[in-house]
Amino acid sequence: MKPAQTNKQTNKQTNKLIAIGKVLQSGRTLTVCEGYVYDSLQEKLIAKMTATLIAI
pLDDT in tens, 5-41: 655 555 556 578 999 999 999 999 999 999 999 988 8
- The answer to whether residue 13 sits within a structural domain is no
33 falls within a domain:
yes
The single-letter DSSP state of residue 3 is P
Within-domain flag for 32: yes
* Higher pLDDT pick, 36 / 4: 36
- Cβ-contact 38, 1 below 8 angstroms: no
| pTM, rounded to two decimals | 0.63
Range of the domain at 47: 18-54
Which of the four pLDDT bands, split at 50, 70 and 90, describes residue 48? very high
Tally of domains in the chain: 1
**Residue 1 lies inside a defined structural domain of this protein:** no
Question: Would residue 4 count as lying in a domain?
Answer: no
34 domain residue, yes or no: yes
Cα–Cα distance for residue pair 8/18, rounded to 1 Å:
19
Confidence of residue 42 (pLDDT cuts 50, 70, 90): confident
